[in-house]
């Protein structure tokens, strides 16, 4: 009898770590839009981040580069994020070397540049392609849904709280322009 109890106790002890692991896993919401149902490595440490965590927020997805004439838009993007994040806006940065080879650095170099030069606090993801024959899965869907592909660095896609693409804004559109902030404010005021 003691031998059977020992077996059962041992089996139970072996289950506890497995149960803790399952409880620690982040469940993906079945209500997550297909557009946000992607996982990307975070820029700073390459930890996987599922975009479903931004479901219910207004999302501005931007392809970025450190050595571009538009690089100063990091400052405007950070101001936009700081101003509206408490109301539900999130800016997502996707560094890319697709245009003019203006993002040649490693993920660590890009992260250091963003932090040290512009004190970027909005979420940034590891360098990936956003155009051409093999864009990352999010940008592939953004391109398909809008019919427009990024023409250069700092191309912006605006996504509503339900995960629907609302509009695309070219590189010449500054993050603090009234055309962009007007759309953002409108979307922030809408209920899910």
Domains of the chain, residue spans: 29-189
pLDDT at 29: 52
Tokens of 137: 């899965």
Ranges of H-type helices in the chain: 2-24, 73-84, 107-118, 137-146, 178-189
pLDDT at 15: 40
Exactly one of 32, 52, 68, 114 is catalytic; name it.
68
The arithmetic mean of pLDDT across residues 73-83, rounded, is: 98
d(CA 35, CA 119): 28
> pLDDT, tens digit, for every residue of 139-159?
999 999 999 999 999 999 999
| The listed CATH number (3.40.50.300, 3.40.50.2000, 3.30.365.10, 3.40.30.10) that belongs to domain 29-189 | 3.40.30.10
The arithmetic mean of pLDDT across residues 166-191, rounded, is: 95
pLDDT at 9: 39
pLDDT at 192: 62
Quick check: is 114 catalytic? Answer: no
The arithmetic mean of pLDDT across residues 2-31, rounded, is: 42
The arithmetic mean of pLDDT across residues 94-102, rounded, is: 97
């Amino acid at each position: 009898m003691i031998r059977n109890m020992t077996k059962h106790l041992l089996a139970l002890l072996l289950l506890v770590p497995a149960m803790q692991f399952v409880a620690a896993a982040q469940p993906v919401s079945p209500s997550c839009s297909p557009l946000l149902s992607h996982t990307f490595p975070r820029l700073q440490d390459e930890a996987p981040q599922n975009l479903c965590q931004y479901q219910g927020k207004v999302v501005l997805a931007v392809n970025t580069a450190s050595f571009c004439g538009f690089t100063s838009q990091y400052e405007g993007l950070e101001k936009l994020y700081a101003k509206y994040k408490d109301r539900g806006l999130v800016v997502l940065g996707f560094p890319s070397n697709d245009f003019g080879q203006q993002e040649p650095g490693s993920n660590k170099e890009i992260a250091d540049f963003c932090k040290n030069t512009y004190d970027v606090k909005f979420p940034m993801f590891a360098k990936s392609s956003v155009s051409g024959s093999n864009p990352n899965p999010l940008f592939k869907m953004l391109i398909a849904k809008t019919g427009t592909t990024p023409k250069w660095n700092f191309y912006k896609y605006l996504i509503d709280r339900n995960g629907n693409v609302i509009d695309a804004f070219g590189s010449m559109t500054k993050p603090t322009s009234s055309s962009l902030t007007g759309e953002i404010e409108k979307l922030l005021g809408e209920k899910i």
